[in-house]
Amino acid sequence: MTNPGRWVSSLLLLMLSVMLAMVPQAHAEVTAENPAAGTAAIFPYQPSAKYAASVNYTLKANGVSIPVIQAFNDYDYAHFSMSEGPVTYELTILNTDKVHEYSISPKKLGITASKVEGRTITFTTQQDEYLIVMMNNRTTKLVIAADPAETDVPAAAGNGIFNVTAAPYNVTGTGGTGGVAQRTAALQQAINDAGNYGTAQGNGTQGIVYVPSGTYYIGNLVLKSNTALYMAPGATFVGTGRTADYTEHWFKDSMGRPATWWISTAFNSTNIKLYGRGTIDGNGKVLHDDKSTNNKGMINNLVVPIATSDFKMDGIVIRESAAWAVMPVRSNDLKFTNLKMFNSLGMGENDGIDVVESQDVEVCHSIGIALDDPYSTKAWKEDTDIASGKVPWPGSPEPVSDVLFEDSISWTKCYGYKIGQGVMQNQENITFRDGVVYKAAVGFAVHHKYGTGSVSNVKFENMDIEDISGKNDDNSAWMTMFTVNSSGNGAGPVTGVTVKNITVRDAGESFAKIKGLEGAEITDLTFENVYMPGSSMPATTLQEMNFTDRAYYSGVTIKPVQNPEPQPRNNLALGKAAAVSANDSTVETAPLAFDGNLSTRAGTKRGVDPGWIQVDLGGLRTLNEVQLFWEAAYGKSYQIQVSGDAANWTPVYSTTSGQGGWETITFNPVQARYVRMYGTERATQYGYSLWEFEVYGPE
């Protein structure tokens, strides 16, 4: 006879197993450590076995250990979710004796450690936040990505659920690049089946593709109408790094490489969702460097919603693309939330999210890290390489309109937030709000470089600029607005730009620009409550905001107070005879540093010390100030020297720590006819290069 006690126990165990299977995975992974009353519950995620643990940091949140992933040279990251309520972090730096210094960004949150003890700092946030922490000035920072707890976790099985690890798909997530074609085909079949189910049900129903935790090396996938693809915590799609595994969709001329849309939408699709707490890892560097097929490698756009509508993406980690990571194209009604874009700061053309020729787009609560622009909008011509590849973009070119970027952090070596470069079609009603520039060459910009379309009704609101360093081309500034006739076919206007409630903690190494062109002016500009570094009062002039390079603009309003712009001073060097030690060009460049044009420059011969640039004032003058507007090739060690005969020189200023950018140098009044910058140590491999060299006397 069957033991009734064992039968009851087995039944109870079966019921418990079923109940646990129905519990969302994120909640099932909570550790046994319970948070104190009134604090957030913590849901840590076990990362893919592909990822190594950080050798720099360990982290706890409300006492729960959070895995820290070793990512790139510049940062590691920790990803988890939490319920509402405060969370207290204990962050420990490894391989050192103790914490000597730290900083926590966004700085606007005002987060400071409640305790610093040994190698650990303790600090608290009141809700889920994306944070960047620097400790002991270590090159590798820590990114803490705390997401809100999931509220829409589907069941792993049931009606309308297509679990990729179950029959008939039988996909395994054990890692490894073998069987990629079969695995990809099975995943695509699950997507097709889910779409067919959703379409058959009607009324906006979506069939759900369920991807459990695991590591899946896959090829291209195409999302279909009425499909939701859910990636459970720990579910990781990984690129194989092999060109042969991917479809060439277009060819990037500037990089000489084919490009693929790794995960895209079907043309003319609708009602698609990509969500969860999983990771889409492009393995971009390996793919970029792969020479096995075409001896050139390949680049990848990771998620491409193209010719689609009603598309939503939530909670996914986007990692290591070799091209623009997320690229909505000719689509409308799109929403991206809790988006984490973790790219390398050492690989170019790897933008975060580029909204291309699309309308009604929201990007809310995100962090973007990339060498190239993490957040931008663009519009191209049909014959542009990106739009006219082996798989051309469907339809006709479209404008960009009604786009919102809100509550985001940008870390880049280029532009933090940008409209352009492509403005082949009009761009209008674009808002950047509550954004933080952690590091960038330019904080935010309208960069109208290609096309004759107009840019109108743009808002930059509640932006915080923490660090402007390095240069992109010749720009290193908290903001720039400029138009360029790059193709020679004309340019377009910029009108109606509002810059409101801005905290500029770092203005940059160079001057800001408002620089239109004849026939493509920049007009109707409003600046309201712009706080420049070190000032407790809003700026009242463009000069106070560092907008030194200005041309073809009009209609400037500054609030709450607008003062007249300072009258131009008498630049004693303007238009005067000049010379350089040795030109860096086959033509004479010396006069270009004294022509009043910040777009032309004088430079000394590459790689040669010393090097000098000098001006003849035409007679003895009383001098007490020099302003140097450096190009990217600046002087680290140099002197300002004066002379009455161009033979005997006297230094009036000397430095061994030149910063480049815009340097204002004052000294006791002297009389001289000749003035020169005499460089003894270059900051770069090039020579000494100046946009402008201005000389002033006492007013």
Count of the separate structural domains present in the chain? 2
DSSP code of residue 288: H
Please report, rounded to a whole number, the percentage of residues in the chain having pLDDT higher than 90: 87
Range name among 54-58, 184-188, 241-245, 594-598 with the lowest pLDDT average: 594-598
Where does a domain end: 148, 172, 202? 148
What confidence score (pLDDT) does residue 23 get?
A: 41
- pLDDT band at residue 17, thresholds of 50, 70 and 90? very low
Please report, rounded to a whole number, the percentage of residues in the chain having pLDDT higher than 70: 95
List the domain range (segments joined by +) for residue 620: 577-696
Domain assignment present for residue 584? The answer is: yes
Convert the pLDDT of each residue in 297-308 to its tens digit: 999 999 999 999
Domain assignment present for residue 439? The answer is: no
Mean pLDDT of the region 460-487: 93
Domain assignment present for residue 222? The answer is: no
Is residue 40 predicted with pLDDT exceeding 90? yes
Phi-psi category of residue 347: left, alpha or beta, with phi > 0 → left and psi -120 to 50 → alpha: beta
Pairing status of strand 279-281 against strand 235-239: parallel
Domain assignment present for residue 507? The answer is: no
CATH value at residue 671: 2.60.120.260
CA distance 693 to 17: 76
Q: Residues 148, 154, 159, CA angle at the centre, nearest 5°?
A: 170
Is residue 31 predicted with pLDDT exceeding 90? no
Cis-peptide into 86, omega within 30 deg: no
CA distance 442 to 435: 14
Q: Residues 46, 342, 218, CA angle at the centre, nearest 5°?
A: 65
CA distance 407 to 339: 11
What confidence score (pLDDT) does residue 115 get?
A: 97
Domain assignment present for residue 226? The answer is: no
CA distance 176 to 493: 52
Convert the pLDDT of each residue in 614-666 to its tens digit: 999 999 999 999 999 998 899 999 999 999 999 999 999 999 999 888 899 99
Where does a domain end: 105, 121, 148? 148
Where does a domain end: 114, 148, 182? 148
Domain assignment present for residue 51? The answer is: yes
CATH value at residue 117: 2.60.350.10
Pull the structure tokens for residue 237: 């799609």
Nearest to 351 by CA among 321, 380, 330: 321
474 or 606, which is more confident: 606
Pull the structure tokens for residue 377: 């909008």
CA distance 333 to 355: 12
CA distance 191 to 266: 11
What confidence score (pLDDT) does residue 35 get?
A: 63
